[in-house]
Chains A and B, each alone.
Chain A
Amino acid sequence: MGDWRGDGPFKMHIPSVRLIVAWLAFAAATARGLEAAETLDFNRDVRPILAAHCFHCHGPDAEARQGELRLDDAATARRVLKAGKSGQSELVRRILAVDADERMPPVDANKPLADEQKQILTRWIQEGAGYQTHWSFVPPVRSEIPEVKQAAGARGAIDRFILKRLEAADLTPSTDAERVTQLRRAALDLTGLPPTPAEVAEFLADKSDAAYARQIDRLLASPRYGEHMAAGWLEAARYADTDGYQNDRYRYQHAWRDWVILAYNENKPFDEFVVEQLAGDMLPGATLAQQIATGFGRNHRINSEDGSIPGEWQVEYVIDRVDTLGTVFLGLTVGCARCHDHKYDPLSQKDYYRLFAYFNNVPEWGVGPNNGNSPPFIKVPAGWPHAEPQENQFVVPEAVKLRAARTEMGNGLKRPQPGGTDTVMVMHELAEPRPTYLLKRGQYNLPDKSEVLAAGLPESLDAGSASASQNRLELAKWLVSPEHPLLARVTVNRMWQQFFGVGLVKTSENFGAQGETPSHPELLDWLARELIESGWNVKALHRDIVLSSTYRQSSAVTTRQLALDPENRWLARGPRYRLPAFALRDQALAVSGLLVEKPYGPPTKPYLPLRLWESISNNKYEQDHGEALYRRSLYTFWRRTIPPPLLTTLNAAEREVCVVRKDRTNTPLQALTMMNNVAFVEASRFLAERMLQEGGATADERIRYGFQLVTARQPTSDEYSILTGAHASFLERFQHDPADATKLLATGERPRDPSLDAIEHAAATLTASLLLNLDETSSKE
């Protein structure tokens, strides 16, 4: 892959800080807490300043570049940098200029440099003005596992990387969490469901050293694992059951979703997971399953609006594919280069359209069929995701067949044939590639026809192998080559985010110049190499993470930890976060015994507020009844323009475009959902039934049982006394007004056990609702 390091190994030595400029003497430690003696690191210390304050006019974007000066490029920047002589460097003169007309960045740019930043730039030049290739463009090398003082607490390599940084920050790791807490945390993280009392009992009874690892292996082998892992991938892959524009018509893409579940459960190596989704149709001897995997490339929105101009929308679909590739596999904001050269990263507009060319050869039509799958699509076998060998064969999709959309005179709209519920949209290559041009300002109707662009990799990422990757399959293979700088890092970072709440690179969608630098660069690279060298073994890496002491720590926080590390980036404590939306609903279904575990198939339509669709759109929601109401949230029908509010209120992504990071909020609307939504009230009702039926003969036992169902542990005596007091007052209240008990018990469709006393059941329902609303229940702790 050539030399990724640009100027070669970058070394800086302890500076002689006899700096010329008087103000420097007064400037103290930097914003990063950089010690004067510490060696400056270009990528860590300098590039972020140049990127944020200078690249806009002196960066990769040729169009916006001023004075033909590029500060992102060592060779052209030499003009203003005198290595070792900051006093003679134009850059220093300009950033320190008193005269506003001379000063850089210009006053009107609104991006003034802080004194500390001026100091760093000056020192950097004094130390030699060395450049480095941006860290994420250099392939990861296997980091040395560090020596640490507190090695006794380390269970594996991950812990040593974490301990090393903790020692530097003068923090000590927390002890292991309670055993049940560890089990619940891992079960929720690996399967999206809490452990049952029987599983907890089995674990607690197992006194061997391997007890926890045994549980982890059980969880990794559970089919629930694939369902839970798929949920995150569906958001990144913008999977939905509707087309997403205007009337937001139906599509049938669940066969692809089921492929994802199966892939996680079978522990498909991640390189194959990527290649098959990007280009499974182009693999030699491709199977039907590999072809269905390419539904990934068709999950984008499709416009069926009357009057749409097909050429405009066909371009948008390709753009969505490129941008998704950028976010989810490269961790780069390639979409910025749609309209102009990237302002911060070395991606030109031409690079963008060369990437575009990989995805521009689908035999598709820009306007959708107005309900149904858009060609190309293929038939899915009845037993999918399992296919008989004779079924598991590549199928050539039917070509686009256009028909006039309307009979009105003058209507020029043509639509393709729709694919029915037994089809899935896939990628396919045109025999003759569609010519790709650079689109000026990114507009479909402004192609630069002076040059047909061939598919190709951005120069900055491709170190000299430009001839290699000429089509989608070769692009996919390039991504998973062991020397690729980004794919493994971006992937392990998203995994870390899933288990710890924040990625090692917080900006999991952006590893470019404007993204955050990693909190633990050596660990990130170690994990990336581990993933690659294990044969891209996803379950093995998940196992490494959840077996680590870092992951198993107690999440209780001390005042000192909170003050020093409020975001828990150094991980002196375990992760503690509210559960994701899907897990919150699924957990309620599971602990109440309502959950119907039935994998795969068409989406379900659980409860939705009455006329939610009808009030603002032309579609009617036909709610399901019976067991479909209680299937995992992964299967919930996803209408992009009106996504299920229960899930989006709790921060599920909307699925309009690729999203790999969503803020977790804490709002009163979430409280209302958890208190009053029919799904949670019904779950309370059935959790109450379980408490009454299975919990024992006394109120005492029943409350303890309910508490254990939701938290996996026993209540403390304080908790117990609050709960019994609350239960007694609910009981009194319904004894006083038995009609209210009947009303409360009528919430939700599943009939109750009529042999239970209504007053007791209603009181237990409110107690159960308390249990489901506990902060601890809503959190992984």
Chain B
Amino acid sequence: MDQLSLTRRAFFANSSAHLGALGLASLLQPRLFGAEATAGRGVSGLAGLPHFAAKAKRVIYLFQSGGPAQMDLFDYKPGLAEQAGEEVPKSIYPDERKTTMTSAQSSFAVAPSIFKFAQHGGAGTWMSELLPHTAAIADELCVIRSLHTDAINHDPAITLLQTGSQIPGRPSSGSWVGYGLGSDSADLPAFVALSSRGAAKADQPLYDRLWGSGFLPTKYQGVKFRNQGNPVLDLSDPEGVDRQTRREWLDQLAKLDRLKYQQSGDPEIQTRIAQYELAYRMQMSVPELTDFTAEPKQILDSYGPEVGKQGTYAYNCLLARRLAERGVRFIQLFHQGWDQHNNLPKQISIQCGETDQPTAALVRDLKQRGMLDDTLIVWGGEFGRTIYSQGKLTKENYGRDHHPGCFTMWLAGGGIRGGVNYGQTDDYSVNVAENGVHVHDLHATMLHLLGVDHERLTYRFQGRDFRLTDVQGRVLREVLA
């Protein structure tokens, strides 16, 4: 790196002679993924942000794609056991907002969860037997059972949850955060998305728009790490080109581009030279990031047996911690496979078996490093599932359709009160009974914890100041530490 820094210093000196302060300033602030890089380490965000002292410096969002069944995991409804097989009253669940997958069913029979529930932690938080590891960290969690959303199909629901709108074209939450706050990392993006698929049936796809930057400049888009092979597209030099050759090649390219700059004066040329250098640095920082060999055995073991396997949820949980340590602002895991229309008991068991332990391990790992205090963890999917059975209901088996009326998420870490239960649903886990939390409220709260007033983080597009929370959003002050 000495040679590189020398080159860069010489370059600074050269360029400032040509363009005076302007040229130097733009060079000292090469645009990385976020806003402007300072001369040292890190990428700063908008001036004036954070708006107030942040409780959390970063977010790790454990997105459970497909819609986990709230009543089989968190939303305990003991009273339903005796109503098994009876019709869900129309007064509770009218026909008009049922998907066409089940709307023509002749029966909407109550399917109580077959899983055992117990209370955990100081607050006596109910959780099912599917989540023994999560249960053990109950005192860290704020479980919200009263989430609700507007959309009933995956695509619009997940788009709403990610971008605050069902219509494509809006920036994702991580892009908003990167735009507002920048990154603490000089050679990694502000927003990284990771994805995994386990052994359970996972029909629901993901889309690039979920980590897209919408109308924000594309430098704010989440960099989707690939779940196989090289995490970043085109990161590796072609076969037969070693590091030294690439260094030499880059030096020659920079020389040629500098000649062009002398003739043309276009400041974009300086930016481009800096971007090639940053690419070179990423080529080194990313492999280091994904090299787990220095992790102690007990840490690796805590994440479970799949931690060493790229593309698994466990691997991504550990990678998330390593990204967090390196200053990445917003890290989002997408785990597919929660869309259990049929054979729910079997499928959800597989799903929990793969995700429960790594999730809890991540929270513990952050805690023991002192990072949980300033890392906000979010766990949850895009909607909930119906209390009525989709398809045939038996004693051992049932399916559940999409349900936007209520679902459960949990928050932990930076600025969140642990060991808290918030919000309630009705006796059927169909409607919110108390303290409803809309998707916009979740976004407002996330931004608040990051020190951002969701009403003041705006971007002018098509003549309007857009926000992540549109014209809504309430900060859930009740759950803040």
Flag if A410 contacts B256 (CB, 8 Å): no
Alpha-carbon distance between A56 and B256 when the two chains are bound, in angstroms = 52
The distance from the CB of A22 to the nearest CB of chain B, in whole angstroms, is: 31
Selecting from A86-94, A223-231, A431-439, A672-680, the interface stretch reads A672-680
Which residues from B are CB-within-8-Å of A745? 240
> A309 and B152: CB pair below 8 A?
yes
- Is B2 located at the chain interface by the 8 A CB criterion? no
B58 CB–A CB distance under 8 Å: no
Q: Among A251-259, A534-542, A552-560, A588-596, which stretch is in contact with chain B?
A: A552-560
Q: Mark A748-779, 1 if CB is under 8 A from B, else 0.
A: 00000000000000100010011001111011
Chain A residues within 8 Å of B299, by CB = none
* B454 on interface, CB distance cutoff 8 Å: no
A397 to B392, CA, bound (A): 40
Please state if B233 and A672 are interface contacts (CB–CB under 8 Å).
yes
Confirm or deny: B267 has a beta carbon within 8 angstroms of a beta carbon on chain A: yes
* A557-B265 in contact (CB<8A): yes
Q: Using an 8 Å CB-CB cutoff, how does the interface string of A389-414 with B read, 1 for contact, 0 for none?
A: 00000000000000000101111111
User: Is the CB–CB distance between B249 and A413 below 8 Å?
Assistant: no
In-complex Cβ contact of A672 among B31, B227, B248, B282 (8 A)? B282
> Which residues of chain B have C-beta atoms less than 8 A from A742's C-beta?
240
Provide the residues of chain A in CB contact with B272, threshold 8 Å: 578, 666, 671, 775, 778
B151 to chain A, nearest CB (A): 9
Contact-residue bracket for chain B: 35 or more
A698: interface (CB < 8 Å): no
Residues B401-431 near A (CB distance < 8 A): 401-402
Q: Is B269 in contact with chain A by the CB < 8 A criterion?
A: yes
- The reply to whether B240 and A762 form a contact with Cβ atoms under 8 Å apart is yes
Contact residues, B206-241 vs A (CB, 8 A):
206-209, 212, 217-219, 223, 226-229, 232-241
Among the stretches B94-102, B130-138, B322-330, the one at the interface with A is B94-102
- CB-based contact A616/B31 at 8 Å: no
Residue numbers in B under 8 Å from A576 (CB-CB): 264, 266, 268
Q: Does chain A have a CB within 8 A of B33?
A: yes
- In the complex, what residue of chain A is closest to B102 when comparing beta carbons? A410
Q: Which of A307, A578, A740, A774 contacts B101 (CB 8 A)?
A: A307
Instruction: Assess A770 versus B249: contact at CB under 8 Å? Given A307-B401, A616-B195, A657-B169.
Output: yes
Known contacts: A245-B155, A609-B226. The answer to whether A666 contacts B256 by CB under 8 A is no
Taking CB atoms, residues of chain A closer than 8 Å to B271 are 666
A241 within 8 A of B: no
Q: Are B275's CB and A719's CB within 8 A?
A: no
B106 adjacent to chain A (CB < 8 Å): yes
Residue from B101, B223, B245, B402 whose CB has the most chain A CB atoms within 10 Å: B101
* B249 pairs with A308, CB closer than 8 A: no
Q: Does B306 contact A (CB under 8 A)?
A: no
Closest residue on chain A to residue B269 by CB atoms = A775
Most buried by B among A310, A333, A414, A775: A775
In the bound assembly, the distance between CA atoms of A412 and B102 in angstroms comes to 6
Q: Is the CB of B240 within 8 A of A641?
A: no
Complex Cα–Cα for A773 and B273 (A): 11
A514 contacts the other chain (CB 8 A): yes
Residues 433-454 of chain B: 1 if any A CB is under 8 Å from the residue's CB, otherwise 0?
A: 0000000000000000000000
Contacts of A413 in B (CB 8 A): 100-101
Main secondary structure of the interface of A (DSSP, over half): loop
CB-CB under 8 A from A616, the residues of chain B are: 195, 205-207, 227, 334, 336
In chain A, residues 570-626, which have Cβ atoms closer than 8 Å to a Cβ of chain B?
576, 578, 609-612, 615-619
B195, A719: Cβ atoms under 8 Å?
no
- Complex Cα distance A580/B227, Å? 29
Given the interface pairs A562-B267, A723-B256, the reply to whether A676 lies near B234 with Cβ below 8 Å is yes
Would you call A475 an interface residue if the criterion is a C-beta within 8 Å of the partner chain's C-beta atoms? no
Count of CB-CB pairs between chains A and B under 8 Å: 282
Choose from B19, B205, B256 the contact partner of A559 (Cβ within 8 Å). Answer: B19
B242 interface contact, C-beta 8 A: yes
Interface string of A296-315 (1 = CB under 8 A from B): 00000101011111100000
Q: Across the interface, which residues of B come within 8 angstroms of A766, CB to CB? A: 241, 245, 249
Q: B358 to nearest A CB, angstroms?
A: 19
Give 1 or 0 for each of B250-289: 1 = CB within 8 Å of chain A CB: 0011011101110111111101110110110011000000
A513 contacts chain B at the CB level, 8 A cutoff: yes
Decide if B309 is an interface residue (CB 8 Å cutoff): no
Contact with A along B116-131 (1 / 0, CB 8 A): 0000000000000000
Given A576-B266, A726-B252, A766-B245, A676:B275 Cβ within 8 A = no
CA distance A509 to B401 in the complex (A): 40
* Contact in complex: B105, A110 (CB < 8 Å): no
Given contacts A555-B264, A770-B249, contact A668 B279 (CB under 8 A): yes
Q: A656-B169, A665-B219 are in contact. Are A512 and B463 (CB under 8 A)?
A: yes
Known contacts A555-B266, A669-B232; is-contact A657 B168 (Cβ 8 Å): yes
Whether A668 pairs with B100 at a CB distance below 8 angstroms is no
Is B167 an interface position by the 8 A CB rule? yes
Instruction: Point out the residues of chain B lying under 8 angstroms from A559, CB to CB.
Output: 18-20, 22, 265
Pairwise interchain contact B464-A333, C-beta atoms closer than 8 A? yes
Q: Which of B209, B256, B261, B464 has most A Cβ within 10 Å? A: B256
Task: State whether A617 touches B100 (Cβ < 8 A).
Answer: no
Hey, which chain A residues are within 8 Å of B248, CB to CB?
726, 729-730, 733
A350 to B218, CA, bound (A): 35
Alpha-carbon distance A616/B102, docked complex (angstroms): 26
The interface size bin for chain A is 35 or more
Please tell me if the beta carbons of B219 and A744 are within 8 angstroms of each other in the complex.
no
A336 contacts which chain B residues (CB < 8 A)?
A: 462, 464
Q: Say yes or no for B456: interface residue by CB 8 A criterion.
A: yes
Q: Are B235 and A305 in contact (CB under 8 A)?
A: no
The answer to whether the Cβ of A722 comes within 8 Å of any Cβ in the partner chain is: yes
Q: Please report the C-alpha to C-alpha distance between residue A303 and residue B156 in the assembled complex, in whole angstroms.
A: 10
Residues of A contacting B236 in the complex (Cβ-Cβ under 8 angstroms): 676
Q: Which of B144-192 contact A (CB under 8 A)?
A: 152-155, 167-169
A618 to B236, CA, bound (A): 27
Interface assignment of A642: CB less than 8 Å from any CB of chain B: yes
Cβ of B32 under 8 Å from chain A: yes
A645 located at the interface, meaning its Cβ lies under 8 Å from any Cβ of chain B in the complex:
yes
Docked-complex contact A666 and B462, CB < 8 angstroms: no
Nearest opposing residue in chain A for B169, CB measure: A657
Closest Cβ neighbor of A618 among chain B residues: B205
* Smallest CB separation, A67 vs chain B (Å): 20
Query: How near does chain A come to B362, taking the closest CB pair, in angstroms?
Result: 21
**Contact indicator B155/A305 (Cβ below 8 Å):** yes
- Distance between B413 CB and nearest chain A CB, rounded to angstroms: 27
Let me know if A615 and B463 touch, CB within 8 A: no
- Bound Cα distance from A641 to B435, whole angstroms: 35
A769 to B241, alpha carbons, bound, how many Å?
A: 12
Report whether A411 and B275 are in contact in the complex, using a CB–CB cutoff of 8 Å. Answer: no
On whether the beta carbons of B195 and A615 are closer than 8 Å, the reply is yes
| A309 in contact with B264 given A559-B19, A562-B22, A651-B218 (CB within 8 Å) | no
Q: Which of A295-353 touch B at CB < 8 Å?
A: 301, 303, 305-310, 333, 336, 343-344
12 further A-B pairs in the complex, CB-CB below 8 A; given A668-B282, A670-B275 = A409-B106, A412-B103, A413-B100, A562-B22, A609-B234, A648-B208, A666-B271, A669-B234, A722-B259, A744-B241, A766-B249, A775-B269
The 7 closest A-B CB pairs, nearest first, are A514-B463, A410-B105, A307-B99, A412-B104, A744-B240, A743-B240, A617-B205
Pick 18 A–B contacts, CB within 8 A, sort by A: A110-B456, A306-B99, A306-B100, A308-B100, A309-B152, A445-B96, A507-B462, A514-B463, A559-B18, A578-B268, A657-B169, A672-B233, A672-B234, A672-B283, A675-B279, A725-B252, A743-B239, A775-B269
Partner-B contacts on A (CB < 8 A): 51, 110, 244-248, 301, 303, 305-310, 333, 336, 343-344, 367, 406, 408-414, 445, 507, 509-510, 512-515, 555-559, 562-563, 576, 578, 609-612, 615-619, 641-643, 645, 648-649, 651, 654, 656-657, 659, 663, 665-673, 675-677, 681, 716, 718-719, 722-723, 725-726, 729-730, 733, 739-747, 762, 766, 769-770, 773-776, 778-779, 781
